[in-house]
Structure 1
């Protein structure tokens, strides 16, 4: 972390006073209901590492009672942004909105070191906003996996030189589709049988490259459930990573691009299959609330977003069956806490013949992934993951299901660290449901 100069501190205070929602800061009654829900507070009982503690720090900066120094920034960066505190708050404080605004102010008023500036510009401005560049990056990973280089790397000590949990994450990367497959993506899928709904699918960036198989499973399920699906070709990254990392203006531009891509489609819903993406999509109205020419359009877009599990429960699923197994479910924080979707995934899993569903203790607690949190805060992320794996093991489940790509990789990393790869698998819910539909068709 680069040192914060006095001039930067002064500018940061001015921006906090200008941009932070003071009424929202005052809404926090300091009642403490948020404390049991917070993973970082639960780790060491440090008040500053709690939601109300961080709100108090933000307010102190606005009031001029505290400097926005390195310790202040460290506490905000330590937050996972899981927003579980919002579900427990009797005052309805929008903690996530406060956190994103504060991080954006810190990012725009501080002078990053040259390496950090290069990395941020490359990732946020030159990579994620461009579909072809994301495909090119994944094509390199595909070559790494298919050429034999990965096997050589994994049988040497090279991975041990990688920082934090990067070596484990390398092991659990999904098999990347070929460059040709990533380019030949569908733009329309016809409903099977009686058409029940016409929907648009938000395919995302990582989901339509690294996790393309899950997107294909999503389209398969929507088709089987009687949904006609359009997939706008001019859509792009949702902007969630940008919004959570202090790149709010870039997130706004990406939101506008997606609104334009979807707004002329005559549809019932916009379907998302990634909790992290969906949570920002349903808040495009908040993101663009201060831009009159976009506010109403953003509101219409946000109202139409629905998670894949919700639409499948609504329209009904064909018969699902799998070989006998115990399954547990790990909530995606943003799917549960922002999109308010918790029961639909469980209903779908319980509807699979051959599956015994066992609820994991504290399934709604964050797994430690949180976007890129497990990369930039590996120590805390691993502590949170250790607890999560303990709860998962207590269910004796052979299959851990989740609904977000980051959560999926984190749970796969947990299975790898616990040396359970032969006994336990982690899967995205739509991949499991698609397998269940196919298995039922083959075993009538």
Structure 2
């Protein structure tokens, strides 16, 4: 058995792999299986491949890598699974095994190393990238590149997705943010707002809206100093040690802030934050600290639904449909609270979408790494949106929001349908 295979056997949780009964309940829930009909593109099939690698019966080859990375990681299979198999952690381990095997051999792609080692771990560099994008927008360079066709110099996936990027907050706007926002009235809770990395650049105003909502609900809101990327993208991409380093930094920063709760507004980030304790099996000195951190984590919609009802003064006369964030619905089990909040807005009509909790195809950076499959899934999603006759698509994750904006463009619904983060929509009605 090769070193790589021995590593695979050690990393995989064989008890979890053996929990899979191969019953097939996951098949209709899996977007890639529905699209391809291939067993190797299903959770059941991928777990069988993992078992083969873990036992040394299969090689960690390009075919295994392709099947593991074709997965969206939406975790709809976990909701469908009668045995409660933790598929999300299994596929992350499979990708970790793939990346470890690649590191021991061929040189890793430059762009991957740049992003995971030299950009995402450094909040100031993420902000600098955001400033560069803001400058390009402000100077009209993005619009010019689109009009002249220069945008085609970018890889096709990036050229397509940039069309859905909203206006980036200016450096001045970001610097004006106060480190603490006081509650209206007597504060019931001291909240640490987890701002994320890309979220705080691309959707800065959504973070501000979230803070305003929490202050209206009677919370002091602290923008915790020293926080950074949650590590979800690293974990999903098999960069587990990098994810753990980021988790340690966030745990330490939140301990220093001494807050009652840690609140986030991104379904994908929230799922990672709530699973930090699972990342520290080999780091016993951090496990108790991670458990204490996880006990404080709440999604913004989850918490607002628990707090005294907000008083909305501005009716929103619109038909709205809600697109579940996969990691909010399947990863965190939060489904009713966002809908409860939407129904509390005067004048709003909630229209349920067929397959609302089925992945939109965003899945972190899947719409860049697996663009064609992502767009195929998105086009199907937009057909369901059309059926609702909604004027607004609300969602609770930045990746889903960007994907929905792209879907509106692809479906020819620009000017007729708007995609809005749940927190921004609630903020409008205050």
Coarse TM-score class (shorter-chain normalised):
over 0.9
Which one of 361, 376, 381 corresponds to residue 383 of structure 1?
A: 376
2:421 alignment partner, one of 414, 418, 428: 428
Question: Match for residue 354 of structure 2?
Answer: 361
Contact conserved, 2:379 with 2:410, CA < 8 A, in 1? no
SS of equivalent residue, structure 2 residue 148: coil
Aligned counterpart for 1:188 among listed residues 180, 188, 193: 180
Q: 8 Å contact 1:196–1:315 — kept in the other structure?
A: no
Cα deviation digits, residues 123-163 of structure 1 (max 9, x gap): 01111111111111111101100012122112112234544
Structure 2 counterpart SS, 1:427 = strand
Distance 2:106 2:402 in 1: 30
Please list the CA deviations of residues 255-308 of structure 1 after superposition, one character each: whole Å capped at 9, or x if unmatched: 000000112444331101001110100000001122110001001111211000
Residue 183 of structure 1, CA deviation: 3.4
The structure 1 residue matched to 2:338, chosen from 309, 322, 345, is 345
Query: Judging changes above 3 Å, is the alpha-carbon distance between structure 1 residues 113 and 374 closer, same or farther for their aligned structure 2 residues?
Result: farther
Q: Distance in 1 between matches of 2:83 and 2:292?
A: 26
Mapped to 1, the partners of 2:301 and 2:23 lie a distance apart of 34
Instruction: Note the 1:276-287 alignment, pairs <5 A.
Output: 276-287=268-279
Deviation at 1:386, TM superposition (A): 0.7
Q: More displaced, 130-139 or 394-403?
A: 130-139
**In structure 2, the residue corresponding to 1:155 is in which secondary structure?**
helix
Out of 49, 54, 61, the residue aligned to residue 53 of structure 2 is: 61
Normalising to structure 1: TM-score of the pair? 0.93
Distance 2:11 2:229 in 1: 26
Deviation sequence 1:17-66 (CA, Å, 0-9, x none):
11111111100011111111100011121111110110000001122222
CA-CA distance at 1:322 after TM superposition? 3.1
Which of 299, 310, 320 pairs up with 1:318?
310
Contact preservation (8 Å) 1:135, 1:182? no
* 70-79 or 265-274: bigger deviation: 265-274
TM-score with structure 2 length normalisation? 0.96
Of residues 389, 392, 395, the one that matches 1:399 is: 392
Residues in 1 aligned to 2:236 and 2:52: alpha-carbon distance in whole angstroms: 22
Residue matched to 2:44: 52
Total equivalences in the alignment? 428
> CA–CA distance in 1 between the matches of 2:379 and 2:320?
19
Structure 1 gap segments, 5+ residues each: 1-8, 438-444
For residues 341 and 240 of structure 2, the distance between their equivalents in structure 1, rounded to whole angstroms, comes to 35
